[in-house]
Amino acid sequence: MQNVPISGLDDMLMRRLPFCKGLMWKLHSNYMKEQGLILLNKLYVFFLLMRFFLLVYSN
């Protein structure tokens, strides 16, 4: 590791970085999409329950 110059190491990292970033972004966006859908479903169910309770209590 010591015999590799810093510039060479940086170059290596920079070449590998876009790939890693892309991979992480893909995983992250898929995870966020799933979480978002779960959250939307929860909110929707909550909204329906609230409407139901409002209908029941308003009468």
The larger pLDDT score, comparing residue 3 to residue 32, is at 32
Q: State phi, psi for 4 to the nearest 5 degrees.
A: -80, 120
Check whether 4 has a pLDDT greater than 60. Answer: no
Per-residue pLDDT reduced to its tens digit, 6-34? 566 667 666 766 776 777 777 778 888 88
Residue 23 to residue 52: CA distance in whole angstroms: 43
Put simply, whether the predicted model's pTM sits higher than 0.75 gets the answer: no
Q: State phi, psi for 20 to the nearest 5 degrees.
A: -60, -45
